[in-house]
Amino acid sequence: MSTAFQQLVDEIVRAALVEDRSFGDLLPRLMQESQSAPAAAKTAALPRLAQGIAEAPVNLGGWLAVVSGAWIESGADPDPAGPAVVHRLTEATAAALAFGNAWEEATGGKPPDMQEEQPSQQVFDTVSPVLGDGTVTAMMSWFALPQFAMAGSTVLQMSPATRTGLDERDFRAFAAEKAAQYLPHMGHVQALLRVLDGERILVLDRATRHGWTVTIGGVGDNFQLHMLLAGALLGRPGGMPGTPPAPEIVACFLDADVPPGRPIVSSPWNLVDARGEWIYNEGVPADVPAVNGTRVVVLDPPSYERTFPAGRRFPLMPATLRVDGMHLPEDLAGWWPHIAAANNPL
């Protein structure tokens, strides 16, 4: 990393930590210099930037988080900054929710638009009778949440290590879902917080009583799960009879760009859980309930043709689906008593 670039990063982090006025001049300079800096230089600087994200006042830390997200999208390793970004995003979400609740309690109306308006004395005075000493942090978090949501979406898509290292993911996702009423982008954060990595799933074919153990990671929704299962099982040795999706279609559900024209694909199955309930494509694999600690997906013939555009919900997030083994009917005799018949919701 060039000495000048490192010095600039050090300078802006120092300015953020002490709320120096120079931060406003340094930020565009850093963004400009970042455009020509190699990915290795950005990766080397990310630990220092992460310190600023973690420790600076939330409004300045939010802008440092945006810089980290831009670096990661341009090739920097996401892991050095990921934990700091997501931890601070969690803090900002909680404080922003406190602000939103306080505003509604004080006024009975809708809080200010966090993307169009700014902190002000009037905003402070409105919520301070409710929030007291926490007013400044809550107000600044409210207006910084869009920056943290943007950066958080990037690191959660591009850093499996950050996703798997998170504790209390259900709590974080619940808070993100609540915050989505004020900032729709937090709905994406909520979905990313529920992404499973290294998750083993038992896939059962009701017609043949065969099964497979698969391990998934980075799957953003059940549309994607549908097609990755089709690519892994149909027409493959040890799989199921049938014609698999074209390789370029499977690839765009894994880690490749969508083919030109965004082809329309169709699913070969109904996916059903162990209780007999349909696994809806709009959901995520984390919605699938477990039996004895293992999530179970049952393959049934489709009751109608499901079609949807090819591609991943989160284009920056590579996915994996690995077939770990096939199970013969006699291997699964103990499982089928726990599997209900499919319920038809139509």
* Percentage of the chain lying above the pLDDT 70 cut: 99
Average pLDDT for residues 79-91, to the nearest whole number?
A: 97
What pLDDT shows up at residue 26?
97
273 contacts 288 by C-beta, under 8 angstroms: yes
Average pLDDT for residues 100-108, to the nearest whole number?
A: 97
Residue 345's pLDDT band (boundaries 50, 70, 90)?
low
What pLDDT shows up at residue 1?
47
What does pLDDT average to over the chain?
95
Please tell me whether the overall predicted TM-score, pTM, comes out greater than 0.85 for this model: yes
What pLDDT shows up at residue 3?
87
What pLDDT shows up at residue 267?
87
pLDDT of 160-219, one tens digit each? Answer: 999 999 999 889 999 999 999 999 999 999 999 999 999 999 999 999 999 999 999 999
Q: Where are the alpha helices (DSSP H) in the chain?
A: 3-17, 23-36, 39-55, 58-73, 82-107, 121-131, 135-158, 160-164, 169-179, 186-193, 222-233, 247-254
Domain ranges of the chain: 3-193, 197-338
214 contacts 203 by C-beta, under 8 angstroms: yes
> Where on the phi/psi map is residue 204: left (φ > 0), alpha (ψ -120 to 50), or beta?
beta
List the single range of 91-105, 118-132, 230-244 with lowest mean pLDDT: 230-244
Contacts of 60 by beta carbon, 8 Å cutoff, 6+ apart: 16, 19, 23, 52
- Between 175 and 2, the higher pLDDT residue: 175
Q: Where are the alpha helices (DSSP H) in 159-185?
A: 160-164, 169-179
pLDDT of 29-48, one tens digit each? Answer: 999 999 999 999 999 999 99
What pLDDT shows up at residue 343?
86
What pLDDT shows up at residue 342?
87
Residue 27's pLDDT band (boundaries 50, 70, 90)?
very high
What pLDDT shows up at residue 24?
96
Ranges 199-208, 304-313, 337-346, most confident:
199-208
List the single range of 77-81, 84-88, 304-308 with lowest mean pLDDT: 304-308
Task: List the one residue out of 52, 48, 57 whose CA is nearest residue 92.
Answer: 57
* Percentage of the chain lying above the pLDDT 90 cut: 91
pLDDT of 128-163, one tens digit each? Answer: 999 999 999 999 999 999 999 999 999 999 999 999
